[in-house]
Amino acid sequence: MECLVCRGGIGDSALEFWGVTICQRCQDRLMDLTVDQPEYESYLSAMRDLWQKRFQAARDRRLKDGDSL
């Protein structure tokens, strides 16, 4: 398991959700980031990718179950 953001190894206190993990270090940095910092955009795009994958998976699953959109 590796951190979604920095691709580094994760520690014990990593945050896990939707099958991905964000290490404690990145969580701390996320909290400190403001929108005018260049790093913010890379975090944001990582999260956006995640959301899209998640949304896609949920939609695919719904379609498989036979529900209409």
Residues that bind Zn ion in the complex, under the rule CB under 5 A = 3, 5-6, 23, 26
Smallest gap from Cβ 53 to Zn ion, in A, equals 18
User: In this complex, which beta carbon is closest to Zn ion, that of residue 20 or of residue 23?
Assistant: 23
User: In this complex, which beta carbon is closest to Zn ion, that of residue 24 or of residue 54?
Assistant: 24
The 3-class secondary structure across the chain, one letter per residue, is: CEECCCCCECCCCCEEECCEEECHHHHHHHHHCCCCCHHHHHHHHHHHHHHHHHHHHHHHHHHHCCCCC
User: In this complex, which beta carbon is closest to Zn ion, that of residue 2 or of residue 60?
Assistant: 2
